Amino acid sequence: MTEPTEDIISAENAGTLDGLMRQRIKRTPDNTAYRSYDAASKQWLDTSWAEVGEQIARWQAALADEALLPGERVAVHLRNSKEWVFFDQAALACGLVIVPLYTDDRPDNIAYIMTDSAVRVLLVQDAAVWKRIGPALAGQEDLQRVLILDGSRSDTAEALQDERVRCVSDWLPDSAPALQKRDGDPHALASIVYTSGTTGRPKGVMLSHYNMLSIAHAGLTMIDVFEEDLFLSFLPLSHTLERTAGYYLPVMSGSAVAYARSVMQLAEDLKNIRPTVLIAVPRIFERVFGRIQGQIEKQSGFKRALFNLTTDIGWHRFEYQQKRAGWRPRLLLWPLLNKLVASKVSEKLGGRLRLSVSGGAPLSKSVAKIFIGLGVPILQGYGLTETSPVLSVNVPDDNEPGSVGIPLTGVKTRIGDSDELLVKTPGMMKGYWNNHAATAEVIDSDGWLHTGDQVRIEKNHIYITGRIKDILVLSNGEKVPPMDMELAISLVQAIEQVMVIGEGESFLSAIAVMGAEQWPALAGRFSLDPKDPASLQNEKLHNYLLKEIKKHLKDFPGYAKIRRVIVTLEPWTVDNGLLTPTLKVKRARVMEAFADEIAALYASGSAKRSSS
């Protein structure tokens, strides 16, 4: 077996993000850079680093013809693809600033972002996207060019009636001079990333070339990544975690990236691509966990016992490898249990997964234990958009799944008032775009960035205990951080989304969204009509849910009990304004949406159940 190849480009050698790409193209021109699915031929096609360089040069030449000034903003509204990279790199090489947009964001939010940042050029997937968001941009005078990547749709001709709109195929030159070295400033603004705030309008986080380069490199000093590694990219590139860790970091390490077709096709893509590295969010693991849980419940008692034995011994094996547990004779059963049970789960993830990093939101330790017990290597990390984004991550030989890891190389931490985590990091933003007051609220006069997260630190590992703004204070003065409770409750198989409430009240309640797949079977269990809204008010249903919730909260303090529940079928989405584009719950908006039900629930003052 040959040793893997390590060929890391340092942040200093790269200088800028476009400098990083030029270095990679020069070092390994013939290696595969990107793998994409071609719908016409129904095949996965590879693009070499040399070919990437040729394409970036074409995009750069076309952007140069737009006569934009250095520092002006251009926006990208695409699914993950090599074209996302071409546009990003070409813009950076022209000294422009990238504004990434979420493809499922609401048109009014996109319009706000583009107006606030005075976007000059916008790249969209197809004419349908422009038709959807174009009306919201009426009167936006800064926008001079709209580029449509896929011009094959029948409605493209209508879009082209707008003189600003052009198809990328017509806009790009047939060829262009080779990429030239640019003496760019590493500390110059590279991107404005709008945070999907759970309250108010999003704020534009200003990140420099150095910010993102330094974090990518710091990650590589803690976790080994090689040229032979293959990433599967499915988190949106507009998410800073995917951009830094799933795009710039693989360029830095020379690894290849395959672009998943969609989240719906992720299971099939995992089997076909067989990645060695995944950057994921907890929801991906939770969904797989839910499917596994559902399948196991249908199995015989023997198979359920075998599965539980496998995860139990697998977890002990992990703890033994981490030097937190002693050797036991039962570990000798692992090769057999791996063959019978664990390997079948690993195969669903492609069978070659060497490491997976979970970030963007907290990962339940119980979910992590199941996957790790099955031999799936999950490393939980943590960060903020304002810190490019990673602040900490678990490492393979010091992995404590209940924590969000140890601080990244170069990151300094301290605990402030109310146990708030304060940090200093080379990835710290330059500030919020056009918002000095908001910047001053987050970065204090001593240069510490206030994360807003409550933590404890043990053996250099950071444990998130709550979000300061989300703390619920009951009428008896008891303070309850709802985040961990919600994580536990979300593991109830019937519940897709949940929010714990009870600010100023004498007891806690929960608003629970039933899973669309699970609801018909659950309704049938209680002889209810799944299409009748009155079914959601059934007392037996509520008693069942409260009992299941209680089971999942058994390890929580006595005051952390859910006494009543509001049940709903309508999911919280970006479109209905109850989720941010990064899928965080907008707590205030949910409270508004369920104001009448909450008022009725607490009106009696007793701990009976309620629903909507």
SS (HEC) of 95-152: CCEEEECCCCCCHHHHHHHHHHCCEEEEEEEEHHHHHHHHHHHCCCCCCCEEEEEECC
User: Considering 416, 434, 467, which residue would you say is the last residue of a domain?
Assistant: 467
C-alpha torsion sign, points 272, 278, 283, 288: positive
Q: Is residue 382 part of a domain?
A: yes
- The lowest-confidence range among 18-27, 296-305, 444-453, 464-473 is 464-473
Percent of the chain with pLDDT over 90: 82
Q: Residue 444: pLDDT above 90?
A: yes
Residues 164 and 312 in one domain: no
Mean local confidence (pLDDT), 261-277: 94
Mean local confidence (pLDDT), 438-462: 96
User: For residue 394, what are its two tokens?
Assistant: 């678990």
What's the pLDDT score for residue 1? Answer: 60
Mean local confidence (pLDDT), 291-310: 90
What's the pLDDT score for residue 466? Answer: 84
- pLDDT band at residue 23 under the 50/70/90 scheme: very high
Q: Which domain holds residue 53?
A: 14-184
DSSP annotation of 472 reads E
CA separation for the pair 300, 424 (Å, rounded):
53
Mean local confidence (pLDDT), 330-350: 95
Q: Residue 608: pLDDT above 50?
A: no
**Phi, psi (5° rounding) for residue 508?**
-95, 150
Q: Is residue 535 part of a domain?
A: yes
Residues 463 and 554 in one domain: no
Q: Residue 32: pLDDT above 80?
A: yes
Q: Is residue 294 part of a domain?
A: yes
Mean local confidence (pLDDT), 337-343: 96
- pLDDT band at residue 293 under the 50/70/90 scheme: confident
Q: Residue 612: pLDDT above 60?
A: no
Q: Residue 197: pLDDT above 70?
A: no
Contacts of 557 (CB under 8 A, 6+ apart): none
Structurally, the chain folds into a number of domains equal to 3
Q: Is residue 521 part of a domain?
A: yes
Q: List the CATH number of the domain containing 284.
A: 3.40.50.12780
Higher-pLDDT residue of 3, 205 = 205
Mean local confidence (pLDDT), 516-534: 93
CA separation for the pair 443, 24 (Å, rounded):
35
- The lowest-confidence range among 74-83, 225-234, 361-370 is 361-370
What's the pLDDT score for residue 607? Answer: 45
Residues 336 and 283 in one domain: yes
What's the pLDDT score for residue 609? Answer: 43
User: Considering 184, 208, 230, which residue would you say is the last residue of a domain?
Assistant: 184
- pLDDT band at residue 298 under the 50/70/90 scheme: confident
User: Considering 184, 216, 249, which residue would you say is the last residue of a domain?
Assistant: 184
Residues 569 and 587 in one domain: yes
Residue 464's DSSP bridge partners are 455
Residues 460 and 498 in one domain: no
Mean local confidence (pLDDT), 338-367: 91
Residues 313 and 291 in one domain: yes
CA separation for the pair 1, 429 (Å, rounded):
43
Residues 523 and 550 in one domain: yes
Q: Is residue 271 part of a domain?
A: no
- pLDDT band at residue 524 under the 50/70/90 scheme: very high
- pLDDT band at residue 414 under the 50/70/90 scheme: very high
Residues 288 and 399 in one domain: yes
- Averaged pLDDT score across all residues of the chain: 93
Q: Residue 199: pLDDT above 60?
A: no
Mean local confidence (pLDDT), 462-475: 86
Q: Is residue 241 part of a domain?
A: no
